[in-house]
């Protein structure tokens, strides 16, 4: 019998993996494709994770700066839908500040409200003390909402209209409403009723399990009788339940039986 010795080699495959061929060129099989990551790809993934963590930290800090504002006469909590703004202070006025900079939505929505390049805009009700040429919004994140346009007169006497934001009036969080005494009593009664219903359901389950000789059910019923929990306290019945459960190898029941007080 002629023995043909074949050597195997791996050649690139047009399908992204490799094929194994013999010395005669015949197809033997396809090697599994292995996904490899180079150091550059791993560094990119690590940087993406860091960027996401920084973004989450920035949003958290933004939502905790002056979190409560009065909007249209109502107390509101700022959200990620508010606009983040930053830039150079051009003018300080009694009603707010004119800024040359950018504003954009904190959560990436409302793209039509974003500036890719610096532009003038007005922020009313800005509560912080600033001077002309100060830069705000570097590491500190300020949020406001769109409020239409603002028109002012330039030093040359011309009228100019720019976009406007409203920081809104910073306020304390709303006070929790006081619950009337009768409502508190009703709530307490409802909670107690729920607890009783849950306890009765557990007791019924333990009774049913003990009735069919379940060791765990017998242990729990022993505890119910021992403690008078949902049933009348009866140490004799408790002992009987513990003994039946312990006879089935329940170590907790055997231990409870040792500690059971004399009748």
Render the chain in DSSP notation, one character per residue.
Answer: -PPPP---EEEE-TTSSEEEE-TT--EEEEEPP-----HHHHHHHHHHHHHHHHHHHHHHHHHTSS-EEEETTEEEE--TTSEEEEEEEEEEETTEEEEEEEEEETTS--GGG--SS-EEEEEET--S---TT-EE-SSS-EEEEEEEEEEEE-TTS-EEEEEEEE--EE-PPPPPPPPPHHHHHHHHHHHHHHHHHHHHHHHHHHHHHHHTT-HHHHHHHHHHHHHTSSS---HHHHHHHHHHHHHTT-HHHHHHHHHPPP-
- Looking up tokens 């989450």, which residue turns up? 56
How many Å apart are CA 135 and CA 112, to the nearest integer? 24
| pLDDT score recorded for residue 32 | 54
Residue whose C-alpha is closest to residue 256's, from 171, 245, 248? 245
pLDDT at 131: 95
The residue extents of the domains of the chain are: 68-170, 181-259
Q: Find the helix or strand (DSSP H, E) in which 122 lies.
A: strand 119-124
Q: What is the pLDDT of residue 117?
A: 66
- 238-243: list long-range contacts, CB under 8 Å, 24+ apart: 239/263, 241/210, 242/218
Confidence at residue 115, expressed as pLDDT on a 0 to 100 scale? 53
pLDDT along the chain (263 residues), means of 10: 44 45 50 60 79 76 87 90 92 94 74 63 95 90 93 89 95 84 87 91 92 92 92 92 93 91 73
Measuring CA to CA, how many Å separate 230 from each of 29, 113, 196, 251? 71, 64, 9, 24
How far is 130 from 166, CA to CA, in rounded Å? 16
Q: What is the pLDDT of residue 8?
A: 43
Cβ-contact 162, 97 below 8 angstroms: no
């Amino acid at each position: 019998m002629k023995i043909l010795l074949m050597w195997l080699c791996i050649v690139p495959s047009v399908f992204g993996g490799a094929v194994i061929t013999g010395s005669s060129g015949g197809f033997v099989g396809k090697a599994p494709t292995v996904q490899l990551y180079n150091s550059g790809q791993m560094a990119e993934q690590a940087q993406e994770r860091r960027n996401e963590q920084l973004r989450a930290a920035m949003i958290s800090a933004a939502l905790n700066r002056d979190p409560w504002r009065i909007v249209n006469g109502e107390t509101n909590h700022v959200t990620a839908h508010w606009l983040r703004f930053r830039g150079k202070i051009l003018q300080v006025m009694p009603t707010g500040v004119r800024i040359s900079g950018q504003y954009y939505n904190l959560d990436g929505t409302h793209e039509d409200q974003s500036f890719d390049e610096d532009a003038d805009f007005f922020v009313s009700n800005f509560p912080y003390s600033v001077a002309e040429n100060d830069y705000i919004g570097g590491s500190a994140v300020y949020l406001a909402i769109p409020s239409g346009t603002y028109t002012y007169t330039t030093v040359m006497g011309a009228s100019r209209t720019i976009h406007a934001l409203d920081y809104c009036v910073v306020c304390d969080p709303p006070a929790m409403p006081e619950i009337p005494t009768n409502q508190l009593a009703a709530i307490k009664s409802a909670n107690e009723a729920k607890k009783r219903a849950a306890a009765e359901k557990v007791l019924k389950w333990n009774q049913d399990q003990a009735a069919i000789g379940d060791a765990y059910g017998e242990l729990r019923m022993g505890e119910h009788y021992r403690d008078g929990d949902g049933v009348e306290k009866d140490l004799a019945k408790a002992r009987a339940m513990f003994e039946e459960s312990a006879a089935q190898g329940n170590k907790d029941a055997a231990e409870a039986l040792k500690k059971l007080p004399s009748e």
